[in-house]
Amino acid sequence: MIDRADPRELLRRYSGNPILRPQDFPKMVNAVFNPGATVVDGRTLLLLRVEYRTGLSSLVAATSDDGLTGWEIDPVRGLFPSSDIFEEYWGIEDARITKVGDEYFVVYVGYSAAGPLVLLATTRDFTNWERRGVLMPPEDKDAALFPTTFDGRWALIHRPAPSMPSLGAHVWVSFSPDLRHWGDSRVLLPARRGGWWDANKVGLGPPPLLTKQGWLVCYHGVRVTVSGSIYRLGLALLDLDDPSRVLARGNEWVFGPHEAYERGGDVPDVVFPCGWILRDDGDTLHLYYGAADTVVCVAEASLATLLDHVEQHPCTGESAGWPLMGAIGRP
Ligand code: BMA
């Protein structure tokens, strides 16, 4: 394999990667990946997607003091699907955790018998849960809540799949007064077209992160090649008061699969984060991601450097939006 490690990368991989592997589990499992992340009682908590040898997934908690080492898999804490629940019929996947007061709002994908959809469950301890139902019907995934409301409305970033895939799968934002009724939906980050790294299919990574400059968003872009898809990560910045306003969007990806554990696994060439944690110094950011749909890894970045990057590599004009915008109705 070609070594493409580059010291100029903005996100630096932890040398102890992968931090969690299938063989770390007491029972044999197929894969552990795409973790949500938060801090509980001073410890880093990951809500791992664990895929069993049935092919179906649960969300299992693991904790660590420093967020890098000494991971303890918790046999009790986690969210476990029930085949009695239509929306969770084939398991649950890819949690994004948003802390609101002293509650954790976990938005996750339910693999229902009618396709993947977006569900919400809330908890204070990751043991006792209140299932709050469907936020978005099939087919929709890659969703997370903002930790604050905007003029009294919750905001959800999500990624519906269009019935005509050739039109692309784009990141949307929707609003709700009560976390049940959603609307005022609009495209937030359109997938670009043609040769771009994020052409045709994009989706949210971790929940949006509050910074002085705006909400920092990390999203994945999927490049389809003759040997399969490559999942890479890019950045955008949203207006603090109106999260449907994109202030900036980077034109380059900032992280992509390089290492052997990212390039080989159940689904090669995938880096897929569902959580990040800003550490107490206010600048160190730990990004937790699934690698190749098989193991869990972490990379570190300086928040200030990421913000500089998104502001200094903005896309403009046509590359920022719809290539055909304005064409409709011309004679
Ligand atoms: C996406 C999601 C992720 C997965 C990725 C790559 O559509 O289903 O859970 O990691 O594909 O397989």
Mutate to test the pocket of ligand 1, among 267, 288, 294 (most ligand atoms within 8 A of CB): 267
Given CA atoms 86, 92, 96, 99 in this order, what sign does their dihedral have?
Answer: positive
302 C-alpha to center of ligand 1: Å? 26
Q: Which ligand 1 atom is the nearest neighbour of the CA of 33?
A: 10
The per-residue pLDDT string of the chain (331 residues; one tens digit each, 9 = 90 and over) reads: 667 678 889 999 999 999 999 999 999 999 999 999 999 999 999 999 999 999 999 999 999 999 999 999 998 999 999 878 999 999 999 999 999 999 999 999 999 999 999 999 999 999 999 999 999 999 999 999 999 999 999 999 999 998 888 899 999 999 999 999 999 999 999 999 999 999 999 999 999 999 999 999 999 999 999 999 999 999 999 999 999 999 999 999 999 999 999 999 999 999 999 999 999 999 999 999 999 999 999 999 999 999 999 988 766 544 445 544 444 444 4
Q: What is the assigned CATH class of domain 12-315? A: mainly beta
Angle at 60 between CA 54 and CA 62, to 5 degrees: 135
Pocket of ligand 1 (CB under 6 A): 34, 93-94, 231, 267, 270, 272, 290, 293
Mutate to test the pocket of ligand 1, among 48, 57, 272 (most ligand atoms within 8 A of CB): 272
73 C-alpha to center of ligand 1: Å? 23
pTM of the predicted protein model: 0.95
